[in-house]
Amino acid sequence: MYRPQIEMGKPLYSGIHTFMHLPHVQTLEKVDYAVIGVPFDTGVSYAIGARFGPSSIRTMSQRIRPISPVHKIDTSEYLSGIDYGDLRVYPGYIEQSYKIIEEQLTPVFEAGIVPIMLGGDHSISLPHLRAAAKKYGPVCLVHFDSHSDTGRAQDPARMWSHGCVFSYAVDEGLIDAEHSIQMGMRGSTFKPNGLDEARAMGFEVLTTDDVRELTIEELCAKVKSKVGDRPVFLTFDIDFLDPTYAPGTGTPEVGGFTTYEAQRMLRGLAGINFIGFDLVEVLPDRDPSHITALHAANIAFEFVCLLAVKRRMDGTPSKGLAVPAGTIR
């Protein structure tokens, strides 16, 4: 089992900063989840700098222990996890970067490992979904964001921006839109009815007002009934949170959610068959107190908890446990 390297007598701030003190290993053997940095921000439409998100999130993850008192679980008993390091990218070259991001992720998905990808701007979700769909076919999308990212570029030279990711993912057949849901939309759109385009693609779209009309329990029940037991990719744009909580992001939108609300929403999704995750748009240069990266690290940890709780529910052993053939457990 690969577990966080936390020891008595070794202060949590010491050592080289991997995510949550996970061992930095590039292996596909005996691993359930791999934290993977994707330091790429060529797809942005406004402020640049999310390429520095992964290192900032890793640094702010140092105080997170692998235990959730809420789920009453030690995730390291159920999951073998590693920090895989960062993917190679070509800053400034989006299509070439998409190609090598997909190439590097394909064996990770093929091995049945759940990647926990730290962006980077939201454009990187497209190669993530391309790699995921090769293994699983069209996946359900559970999308937390203040923007639906279902735009269409007027200029073909700009078609791969972070604001158009999910329309192209639908076009390419990577997403099962009829069983997907977008939540938290409140940002300005190009047209008064801008979200209708996302709905026309098949997505269920809940604006911030729509989300606020439901209890968190009702919201989670809605998401679960939407996706059923299908494979689900969870994408979390940190600008889902209010800029008061997450100022360090490139396209902040006021009137958003608290971190506590986001934690409770994620915790309520336990039981879903998650096959991939990315957390995007953390921009450290606009994050002077590192609070955005702190929230991002904890959101990623909530996702680790969901994987562990699912294993506990299903009774599936970790791939990190070397169980000799024929052994009755």
- Which residues of this chain interact with Mn ion, rule CB under 5 A? 145, 147, 237, 239
Of the pair 20, 282, the CB lying nearest Mn ion is at 282
- Please give the angle made by the CA atoms of 310, 38 and 23, to the nearest 5 degrees: 60
CB of 1 to Mn ion, least distance (A): 36
CB of 251 to Mn ion, least distance (A): 6
Radius of gyration of the chain (CA): 19
Q: What is the nearest approach in angstroms of Mn ion to the Cβ of residue 235?
A: 10
| Residue whose CB is less far from Mn ion, 50 or 82 | 50
Residues 6+ apart with CB under 8 A from 174: 126, 129, 130, 132, 133, 138, 139
Distance, CA of 164 to CA of 150 (rounded, Å): 5
21 versus 147: smaller Cβ distance to Mn ion:
147
> CB of residue 123 vs Mn ion: minimum separation in angstroms?
11
Say how far apart CA 32 and CA 109 lie, in whole Å: 11
**Shortest distance, position 238 Cβ to Mn ion, whole Å:** 8
b/e map 154-180, b = 16+ CB within 10 Å: eeeeeebbbbbbbbbbbeeebbbbebb
Q: Is 136 or 203 the residue whose CB approaches Mn ion more closely?
A: 203
How far apart are alpha carbons 317 and 30 in whole angstroms? Answer: 11
User: What's the rounded Cα separation, in Å, for the pair 29 and 238?
Assistant: 31
Measured CA to CA, the distance from residue 119 to residue 86 in angstroms comes to 10
CB of 239 to Mn ion, least distance (A): 4
Token digits for 282?
């953390």
Q: How far, in Å, CA of 2 to CA of 11, rounded?
A: 20
Of residues 140 and 280, the one with the C-beta less far from Mn ion: 280
Nearer to Mn ion, 227 or 279 (CB): 279
Q: Which is nearer to Mn ion, 147 or 311 (CB)?
A: 147
Residue 150 C-beta: closest distance to Mn ion, Å = 11
- Indicate the residue type of 220: C
